Amino acid sequence: MSTKPAPIYADNAATSFPKPREVIDAVSAVLGGMSLSPGRSAHRYSLECSRVIFDTREALADFFNCPDSSRIAFTCNVTEALNVGIFGLLGEKLHPGDHVITTALEHNSVMRPLRYLEKTADISISILPVSGDGEVMVSELPRLIRDNTRLIVVNHVSNVTGAVADIEAIGRAKGDAVFLVDAAQSAGVFPIDVARMNIDMLAFTGHKSLLGPTGSGGFYLRPGLGLRPLKMGGTGSNSEAEIQPDFMPDCYEAGTPNTLGIAGLGAGVGFVTRTGLAAIRAHEQRLCRLFLDGLEQMKGITVYGPAGGRERAAVISLKVKGKSESAVAQSLDRDFHIMVRAGLHCAPGAHRTMGTFAEGTVRFSFGYFNTEADVAACLTALAIISKN
Amino acid sequence: MSYGLGHHQQKLKNMWSPIQPTPTCVVILFSIHFVLKAEKLLKKNGIGHDVIPVPREISSDCGMAVEFPCLESEKVLELLAAAGLRLAGLYMRVGKDSFQPISAGHLAVNAVN
C-alpha cells in the first residue's frame, strides 16, 4: 500500500501558508465574538472592533518605524494600496506633463496604473534598468531624474527572482520626488524603516510574509503628503458633513473595513515581531541556499536571479530544459504534491529582462514554515522530472 | 503645542472638595482612532478615564469621546498635544446631561492632516 506524501506548499510569494495558530485564533475570536463593525456605533461590540483595528494599526506603525499610527491606512491588499498611491497623486503632486521613474521588475499592480496614466494623463515613464542577474541598478537613478520627476516607484523584492532593491540608496537619491515602495514581498522578511529609508509611501499586503489573511493590507503615508481618496463614503467620523474627512486614516478608509482580515494581520505582525525578522530571514535564506546548491548539481535546470552569495528572498525562478513551465508545475502538484507557480507571475517586465518572456518560469517560494525536508523533496522531484 | 488651560485648572482646584463628586471633562477627537490613541496614553500614564459615546448635547456625531477628572486636564492635554492629537472640542460636565465648552478659544478645531 502506498502512502500519500504530505503536500508541500512552495507558493508563499503568492500567499503564505500555513498561518500561525494565533492568526487563525484572532480571526475566529473576532468572527465569533463581536459585530465586525468598528467606529460606527457606540456599543461595546463596535468599540471592541475599533480596538482590534487600532491595535493592528499601532503594531504596523511600530513595525515600520512610523511614529504616528494614524499615517497607516488599511486597504484590501497591496494592489489597492499602490492604486491609491499612484492614482491618488494625480492632481495633487502629479500633473499632466510630469515624469515618473520605476524599475523593470515591477508587478502589474504598478505597471498597469502607470501605463494608464501614460496614455490618459500625459505622464512620461522612465525605467530604471536591471543588471544581468536581476538587480535594480540604483547607480543609474541620478541620470534618470528630471526637474519634473514627481514619483519614483520601486518594488523592494522581486516576486519573480527574489532580488532585493537597495531602497535605502534610492531614498537618499530620490530628490523631491515622492518615493513609493512596493513591499508586497519584503514586509515580514526584510527590515523596513520608513524614516531611515526616506520612504514617502509604503504599500504592503497582509497575506504574504506578514502571515495574515487575504483581503488585508494597507499603506504608510508620510505626514504632509496628501492623496486624492479613490473611494469616499461613511467613516463613522464627521457624520454631519457631506464632504469626505481630510485627515488620516479616515479619509482613505470609507466603508466598513475587513475587520476579520485586519484582526488576523495584527496577529501575524505580532508573530513576526516576536519571532524576529532576523530569525525569519535566516531560516528562509538557509532554505534558499540549500535549494540553490542542490539545483547547481542538477543538469538541465536554469536558475534566474541574483547569483552567488547575494542577498535575496527565498523566491526562485527556474526552467527545466525541454519541458514547458505548466507541465513542470502540473507534474510537481500531481505526482509529488508540491505546489508552485508557473508563468509570468504578473510581472512581464521582469521576464523580458531575463529573456523568459512570454512563457515565464517555474517559481518556488519558501516561507518560514517550510523545512529542509521540503526543500529536499522539491530537489528530488525536480531531478526526476528533468530526467524524464 | 499647548492648549493654555491654566486658568481653568486653577478654578477647578479652588472648586474641588472631598465631599463633592470630582468634576469631569469630556474631550472630543476627530475619529475613533484618536479616541483610542488618547485612551492608550491615559492608561499608560495611570489617569482614570471612560470612553463614552459623544453626548448628544455636545454633538450629533455618532462617535466616541473620552471622559476624565478635570483635575487631570492639564496633564491630559499635555499628553494629547505631545502625541500630536488635535482636539475637536473640550467640555466640562456640569450636570448629568449638561456640558459647558471650555477654553474653546485656545483649541485647534480645524481639520488635521
Give chain B's domain count.
1
Domain that holds residue B94: 6-106
- Could you tell me which CATH number the domain at A21-275 has? 3.40.640.10
Question: What pLDDT is recorded for position B104?
Answer: 43
- Is the four-CA dihedral A76, A79, A84, A87 of positive or negative sign? negative
Question: What pLDDT is recorded for position A331?
Answer: 97
> Is residue B14 over pLDDT 60?
no
Instruction: Supply the ipTM of this predicted assembly.
Output: 0.88
Q: Taking Cα atoms as reference points, which of A166, A157, A227 lies closest to residue A198?
A: A166
- Residue A89's H or E segment, with its range, is helix A78-89
By the CB < 8 Å criterion, does B112 face chain A? yes
Whether CATH 3.90.1150.10 fits A8-19+277-387: yes
Question: What pLDDT is recorded for position A2?
Answer: 53
**A14 vs A1, A161, A206, A365, B80, CA distance in Å?**
35, 13, 11, 8, 41
Q: What is the grid cell recorded at B105? A: 478659544
Give A219's strand partners.
Answer: A73, A203
CB-based contacts of A359, cutoff 8 Å, min separation 6: A324, A325
Question: What pLDDT is recorded for position B13?
Answer: 52
> Is residue A18 over pLDDT 50?
yes
- Is the Cβ pair B63, A42 closer than 8 Å? yes
Percent of chain A's residues with pLDDT above 70:
99
Q: At what angle do helices A259-275 and A21-33 cross, to 10 degrees?
A: 150
- Is the Cβ pair B36, A42 closer than 8 Å? no
* DSSP-based helix, strand, coil % in chain A, nearest 5: 40, 15, 45
**Residue range B46-102, pLDDT digits in tens:** 999 999 999 999 987 778 999 999 999 999 999 999 999 989 999 999 998 999 998
Q: Which residues of B61-79 are buried (b: 16+ CB within 10 A; e: fewer)?
A: bbbbbbbbbbbbbbebbeb
Mean pLDDT for all residues in chain A:
95
CB-based contacts of A89, cutoff 8 Å, min separation 6: A150, A151, A178, A227, A228
Specify the long-range contacts of residues A238-241, CB closer than 8 Å, at least 24 apart: A238/B30, A238/B31, A238/B61, A239/B60, A239/B61, A239/B62, A239/B63, A240/B59, A240/B60, A240/B61
Q: Distance between CA A364 and CA A381 in Å, rounded?
A: 12
**B23 vs A189, A219, B6, B67, CA distance in Å?**
51, 41, 16, 10
- Parse chain A into domains and list their residue ranges: 8-19+277-387, 21-275
Q: What is the grid cell recorded at A157? A: 523584492
* Across A57-66, A316-325, B2-11, least confident range: B2-11
> Is residue A351 over pLDDT 80?
yes
Contact predicate A279/A273, CB 8 Å? no
What CATH number corresponds to the domain at position B41? 3.30.70
**Residue range A148-201, pLDDT digits in tens:** 999 999 999 999 999 999 999 999 999 999 999 999 999 999 999 999 999 999
- H helix runs in A341-387, sequence order: 348-354, 372-387
**Residue range A74-96, pLDDT digits in tens:** 999 999 999 999 999 999 999 99
B11 is a domain residue: yes
Contact predicate A19/A213, CB 8 Å? yes
> What is the DSSP-derived secondary structure letter of residue B55?
P
Give B87's strand partners.
Answer: B29
How far apart are the CA of A28 and the nearest CA of chain B, in angstroms?
23
By the CB < 8 Å criterion, does B43 face chain A? no
B111 is a domain residue: no
Q: Distance between CA A319 and CA A356 in Å, rounded?
A: 9
Question: What pLDDT is recorded for position A5?
Answer: 75
How far apart are the CA of A69 and the nearest CA of chain B, in angstroms?
9
Q: Which of B29, B31, B43 has the highest number of chain A CBs within 10 A, making it the mutation to test binding with A?
A: B31
**Residue range A265-312, pLDDT digits in tens:** 999 999 999 999 999 999 999 999 999 999 999 999 999 988 777 889
